[in-house]
Structure 1
Amino acid sequence: MAQNYNFNQLYFEYRALVYSLALHYVQNVEDAEEITQDVFVKVYQSIHTFKNNASVKTWIYRITVNASLDLITKKKSKKRFFIFGKRETYDNRYTKVADFEYPGVALEHKEQSAILFGVINTLPENQRTAFLLSKLEGLSNPEVSQIMQLSVGAVESLLVRAKKSLKEKLAEKFEVNHRKK
């Protein structure tokens, strides 16, 4: 079972998947690299306890989602406890175009991508996770349900609500930006 998994093989097979998902969550190269490193430390430390209840891919996705959400929570809590000096809030950091780092996004699309991810980041945690896994990672609803440990119906409901919310927020955001020009 778990002894059949070679850590190096898992790392080379899944590192791009982990990095991509982490980058979808944080839109920052350094943070995505940190999450990727944390995920594989956790995989290395716990591969012997893996029980094959789900696929290794699902297990690694779940660890990545949790590590990504943990880093986001950690950064938000640092923001709350900052008292003196110059501060940059988490929300602004990930929605300001100048700070938006996402490989593969052409310079001319940087502003729109930053706005899109800024709005995605406002979704409730479960909606954001379902949306990122389904729409950006391209996973099927059954795969997303396994990763999130929810029913397929619950995932479909989360996706409907996420799409509706995104549509409303993006329409509002682009209307505001259009008025500014």
Structure 2
Amino acid sequence: MVYNLALQYTQNIEDAEEITQDVFVKISQKLDGFKNESSLKTWIYRITINTSLDFLKSKNSKKRFFFGLFSDSGHENKKQEPVDFNHPGVVLEQKEEIIKIFSFINMLPNDQKTALILLKIEGNSQQETAEIMNLTQKAVESLFQRAKKNLLQKLNQQKEYEK
């Protein structure tokens, strides 16, 4: 569960493995502080999501710093696409389309991205997703609908661009 969720955020086997290790270290360090206010699964999901988002933020800031050394153009406002798309569930023929879709997913705000991943990729129910994200079910539905709308806009823009 932890590895698969991390893989959805990073689309990279090595990064997902690193995040998985970090998550289990955090779980072992914080297990005494678990208060049973939610299920253990929900608690682990939250740790995994936060660790994944922190990892991506750190990785992107390092990339921006590195690219900033060699360029004086405004790269700071662009989100980085995955340079190395390494996901075991993607067959070669689908890889180009999947890369495009995940690059659009990665452009979503973190809360929309998380709702989309938990609902449609991880297959959690709205109730489970709401518990994991510490939101109401209505808020989760709203985030998902906005994510879906944003993705459709980006895909349509891409189709127009390719014409």
TM-score over 0.5 for the alignment?
yes
Supply the AA of the counterpart residue of 1:131.
L
Q: Work out the percentage of aligned pairs sharing the same amino acid.
A: 54
1:74-89 to structure 2, matched below 5 A, reads 74-82=58-66, 83-84=68-69
1:124 aligns with 2:109: yes
What's the CA shift for 1:70? 0.2
* Match for residue 94 of structure 2 among 91, 109, 127: 109
Which runs of 5 or more residues in structure 2 are unaligned?
72-77
Distance 1:103 1:38 in 2: 21
**Per-residue deviation, residues 78-134 of structure 1 (Å, max 9, x unmatched):** 123225469xx9713x1x5xx211111100000000000000001111000000000
* Match for residue 80 of structure 2 among 88, 91, 95: 91
**Contact between 2:119 and 2:126, CA under 8 Å: does it hold in 1?**
yes
1:71–1:55 Cα change, 3 Å: same
Supply the AA of the counterpart residue of 1:175.
E
Secondary structure of residue in 2 paired with 1:100: coil
Secondary structure of residue in 2 paired with 1:91: coil
User: Considering only CA atoms, is the larger Rg found in Structure 1 or Structure 2?
Assistant: 1
**What stretches of structure 1 move > 6 A for 4+ residues in a row?**
none
Residue 158 of structure 1 is matched in structure 2 by 143
**Contact between 2:42 and 2:132, CA under 8 Å: does it hold in 1?**
yes
TM value normalised by structure 2:
0.90
**Contact between 1:75 and 1:90, CA under 8 Å: does it hold in 2?**
no
Distance 2:9 2:152 in 1: 19
**Contact between 1:79 and 1:90, CA under 8 Å: does it hold in 2?**
no
Distance 1:35 1:164 in 2: 29
Distance 1:72 1:38 in 2: 13
Between the two proteins, the alignment pairs up a number of residues equal to 156
**Per-residue deviation, residues 4-39 of structure 1 (Å, max 9, x unmatched):** xxxxxxxxxxxxx11111011011111100100000
Distance 2:139 2:32 in 1: 31
1:61 aligns with 2:45: yes
Which runs of 5 or more residues in structure 1 are unaligned?
1-16
Supply the AA of the counterpart residue of 2:157.
E
RMSD, aligned CA: 1.7
Distance 1:51 1:118 in 2: 37
